[in-house]
Amino acid sequence: MTRVTCVANMTRITRMTRAMGTVGTVGRSAPKRAADTHDYKQWTFSNKRRFMSTAQNTAMNQVTEKNESVKKKSDHAENSAQQNELKKFSIFRYNPQNNKRPKMETFEVDIDNCGPMVLDVLIKIKDEIDSTLSFRRSCREGICGSCAMNINGKNGLACLTEVNKDKKEVTEIHPLPNLYIIKDLVPDLTNFYNQYKSIDPWLKRKTKKEKGQKEFYQSIEDRKKLDGLYECIMCASCSTSCPSYWWNPEYYLGPATLMQAYRWIVDSRDEYTKERLMEVNDTMKLYRCHGIMNCTLCCPKGLDPAKAIRNMKELVQEKFSKESIKSHANYVKEKMEKTK
């Protein structure tokens, strides 16, 4: 064996020894090589366990990340579907020209791209879905009372009633109850306004104002008596929620008209207080009110018609005793003769 061959063999053996993890040079004793072999096996086993543990952790992390990604996508899809979901509105429809029975028609509206109030939804339906839908509206600020209707069973103003954001619930919209319907959500308020007219809702004086005379002054205390009365916008929500008005609309004046009558009765500038009390002192006009309180619960302006009616009943009892019944009867008789 030449020197070159011997060197090459030595180099090969050294590389193999280093690869096996042993330390030292060739020529070790047999027990030492056995110990080195045992150390190699232990090193291989521990590294194998370390590799398997790392691989398992990596796999578990990948599965966790995948599950989180799938959950995020699912939540995003669910939110997107909920945002794009349309809300249903069931609206009363009636057209006297087509001779068909009234019905409830359902409209689906994207409330995410619409105003927050029920009136905004009605306008959106009329502009984009069905232009034949009829309803009253004007100020959109709760001042005129034009858009009064029954929303989910409660009378109120559409411009002040917020849309229920729950898209699974159907919102029902009806016209004011127990009135003749002109078309869809437009009720006939002729009788309501005639009753309001009958109480003479303006300031009445017996003494004429002299030329150059200043306006009739009113104390702070007297002025405060009108608070909670003059704010009424005559939307008819209270009157049409009263069962007594449902049964006797021709005779019972209703909460709105009676409250306005009381407004002029307690006005210190008005000089027809006794005549106004005599006008309403009637079994059907005033005493059909039984304090059910529907009028107070549904008033969109937060007024209390029931309280005004109760106070007016007390004034009638104070002003009219048994001796004045005859004079009241004469007053009614004279008025009936004038109307003939």
Angle at 143 between CA 192 and CA 234, to 5 degrees: 15
- Say if residue 248 is in the same domain as residue 278: yes
Q: What are the φ and ψ backbone dihedral angles of 109, each rounded to 5 degrees?
A: -125, 140
- Say if residue 101 is in the same domain as residue 136: yes
- Say if residue 251 is in the same domain as residue 325: yes
Angle at 96 between CA 94 and CA 102, to 5 degrees: 30
Residue 289 lies in a domain: yes
Count structural domains, the chain. Answer: 2
Residue 45 lies in a domain: no
Q: Could you tell me which residues are beta bridge partners of residue 149?
A: 156
- Say if residue 197 is in the same domain as residue 333: yes
Residue 67 confidence (pLDDT): 62
- Say if residue 148 is in the same domain as residue 197: no
Residue 12, classed as helix, strand or coil, is helix
Distance in angstroms (rounded) separating the CA atoms of residues 336 and 339: 5
Q: Give the global pTM.
A: 0.70
* CATH number of the domain enclosing 273: 1.10.1060.10
Could you list the residue range(s) of the whole structural domain that residue 126 is in?
87-187
Model pLDDT for residues 286-322, shown as the tens digit of each residue: 999 999 999 999 999 999 999 999 999 999 988 876 5
DSSP H helical segments within 85-146, as ranges? Answer: 118-128
* CATH number of the domain enclosing 182: 3.10.20.30
E strand or H helix that includes residue 307: helix 305-319
Residue 20 lies in a domain: no
Distance in angstroms (rounded) separating the CA atoms of residues 123 and 109: 11
- Chain-centroid distance, C-alpha 143: 19
Residue 246 lies in a domain: yes
- Say if residue 177 is in the same domain as residue 230: no
Model pLDDT for residues 67-124, shown as the tens digit of each residue: 665 555 455 445 544 556 899 999 999 999 988 999 999 999 999 999 999 999 999 9
Residue 13 lies in a domain: no
